Copies of this chain bind each other. A is one copy, B any other.
Amino acid sequence: MTKVADQWLRDILILLAQNRTVTRAEILEVTGYNPASVSHALRYLTRAGVILKVGKLESKAGRRQEILQINADAGFLAAIDLEGSKIRFALTNLVGDVRYRWEEEVRVGEALDGRRVVHGLQRVFANLSSEQRGRVLAIGVCHPGFQNRDGCVTAINIGWNDFPIREQLVRAYALPVFLEGAHQTYVQAERWLGTARHARNCVYVIVGQGIGAGCFVDDHLLEGASGVGGEFGHVVSDPEAPDQCTCGRRGCLEAIASAPNIVRQYVEATTRGRSKVMREVDLAFLLDEARHNEPTALKVVDRAARSLGIALSQLVQILSPELIVLGGDIVSGQDLFLPRIRTVLASFVTPKLGDAVRITVSSLGLDIGLKGAAAMAFRRSILDSKLLREQICGPIAAMQRADGRKSRKSSADSSSKPG
């Protein structure tokens, strides 16, 4: 019998993970493989327990089409999100549903103790039986800053300088560990579990404490020469702008349109000439003022939206995405920002590219980093031949073989009873 090629398994698993239910005909159409190869791979995956037949579809020609689905709980992924004001931990199934979740506060401005990250993960493992523990495929980590080739992370906001997080997690849990920067993790969450599930060219832009972007280009995660494509916060949207950026330059998008800088401009404008600084202002207050047509708040919102719209127009001219997903603090002000950004964008992009792109807000919420890290770890496990065969298809197949022996044994037991 022909060997089942890794590539067949990969393409089918990724298609199923992305679409939840798929027919055999759809697999043939998307993959372009011959029917014999697909049947062969489907038998292998079904036997391994990774996919399930969930029903039949009556086709027009009268032939019944089997509907296939990934066996969502055939395996688990552990996820850690180090970005932001908390450390978040989760255990998800193969399609990104969070099964166990844990979070811990982080003191802003204080170096994060790596042991807290390693130990924290135990909380989500604590509820698993040893059989379930054996089905955890990998650990995915969404981190701020940069990683090097050895899996060490450098990130100012958690005070890490080449911290060997991968090595420590591997040592503690004996599982494969995959790391990804935050923006890249977010866009993977959108591409595989969120709004961008059908968009091969999509961009996720976070507008929060800072601004950043992750991009899929023709279904390929953009990395670039420096490994950090999408340093979108430091695009100079207005070369003449006086706004000082934390990076030391002026006119960066982030210096005008990040949440703290939106608030800063409002505070500067409203306290001009007054001695009393309005310390109680936050983004929610400012957005409410703008909704009540308070002129200063509206002016600040207009300026930030214009800056975002111009920077997005530059991105659209270069990448021509079909979908832009906005996330972060801006989601709470989408009623104000989205129409303004759309107007600016339309006036600054070539119509052909403007017509092709849709702009929306994220619906993945606070768990986007966890979901993205889990989805990323699952994809990377599929791409690794050893993990694909031994972890994803292996233990499940072994388990089924054990079940088979058990059921054969019990039927043998019952047959030995006097009839």
A interface residues with partner B (beta carbon < 8 Å):
199-201, 213, 215, 217-218, 220, 222-232, 234-236, 238-240, 247, 249, 310-311, 313-315, 317-322, 347-350, 352-353, 355-357
Contact = CB atoms under 8 A, between A and B. Distances in A.
Oligomeric state, in copies: 2
A228 B315 contact: no
B239 A322 contact: no
A322 B225 CA distance: 5
A352 to B, nearest CB: 6
Given A222-B217, A222-B218, A228-B352, A318 B322 contact: no
7 tightest CB-CB pairs across the interface, nearest first? A224-B320, A225-B322, A226-B356, A201-B225, A314-B314, A225-B356, A235-B317
A380 to B, nearest CB: 16
B229 A320 contact: yes
Contact of A236 (B220, B310, B356): B310
Contacts of A218: 220, 222-224
Specify the main secondary structure of chain A where it touches its partner.
Answer: loop
21 contacts: A199-B225, A218-B222, A224-B321, A224-B353, A225-B321, A225-B322, A226-B355, A227-B320, A231-B317, A231-B320, A231-B352, A231-B353, A232-B317, A235-B314, A235-B318, A236-B314, A249-B347, A311-B314, A314-B318, A315-B318, A318-B318
A229 B220 CA distance: 14
A73 B200 CA distance: 38
A31 to B, nearest CB: 15
Given A238-B239, A240-B240, A347-B249, A352 B226 contact: yes
A226 B318 contact: no
A239 B225 CA distance: 29
A355 B228 CA distance: 13
A210 to B, nearest CB: 12
A201 B199 CA distance: 22
Nearest to A314: B314
B226 A320 contact: yes
Contacts of A231: 317-318, 320, 350, 352-353
A355 B315 CA distance: 21
Given A225-B320, A235-B314, A318-B318, 12 more contacts: A213-B318, A218-B220, A220-B220, A222-B319, A224-B321, A226-B355, A229-B319, A231-B317, A231-B350, A234-B349, A236-B310, A249-B347
